[in-house]
Structure 1
Amino acid sequence: MSYDIEKPDEEWRAELTPAEYAVLRQAGTEPAFVGEYTDTRTAGVYSCRACGAELFRSDTKFESHCGWPSFFDARNSDAVELVSDHSHGMVRTEVRCAKCGSHLGHLFEGEGYPTPTDQRYCINSISLRLTPGGQ
């Protein structure tokens, strides 16, 4: 896959903290219930921590009690890339930033949350940066 923002691995390592790199560039997962935005209710826009692309709005964030920030919709359909993930002995849908290819989390559907889409974008806080304010 080709992305608008492509950098050599050494450049990503220099720009990101080791924890950010492990999640964003190596598809890691931060521990549950410790992320900066898990319980945040601040109005604003959530962007990719690696490249700054706008991904989610606070008005689509909801309490799923899963341990990570959850959103029922991406900012626009082109903001994220959905990729089939067969790691860890299960089939899931990985969510990546469509601009730089960074790992954000996973998309789950049909869980019965009372949201307009019946989708849960389960996103690592460390993959995001919140800009408070208007949407």
Structure 2
Amino acid sequence: MDGHEAYGFCERNGVRLIEIDAEFGANLGPSSSESYDFEIKAVPHSTGFGLQHDPILNCMKNQENLRVKREGKGILKLNGSALDPLHTIPVVSVGTAYYTEGESSWTVPRLDVLPNRDAYLPFIYGQKFDDFRLFRKPARFQKLSR
């Protein structure tokens, strides 16, 4: 952050995957809010096939107390690689950009077990885990695969 301008990025394996460049207005002052999010929690099976247990749906309550809140306009750029093909996602539009400082507290007031774990498997793999077939093998293992 430099004055009203901000730039941020996310990088993995030397590839800058996500870049955000934004300009913000004046501080709108302190604010408080409460919201709810949902998250599916699942654990891959120890054998490497499927899920260890039925997934859990967590309902999460977020209480935010902000000291600083700024709104602005920004540019979002998605880059990619074979490991992280974010560049295949089209950025159709970008809404309001926000810059905030403050505290958030998350609690889980409710959770439910989701039956039929196999129905969630593609989404869990796609969301959380790398495809290790795409990683370069260390030199000490390259002789073993020939």
TM normalised by structure 1 equals 0.22
Name which one, 1 or 2, has greater alpha-carbon Rg: 2
| RCO comparison, higher one (Cα < 8 Å, 6+) | 1
Structure with greater strand percent: 2
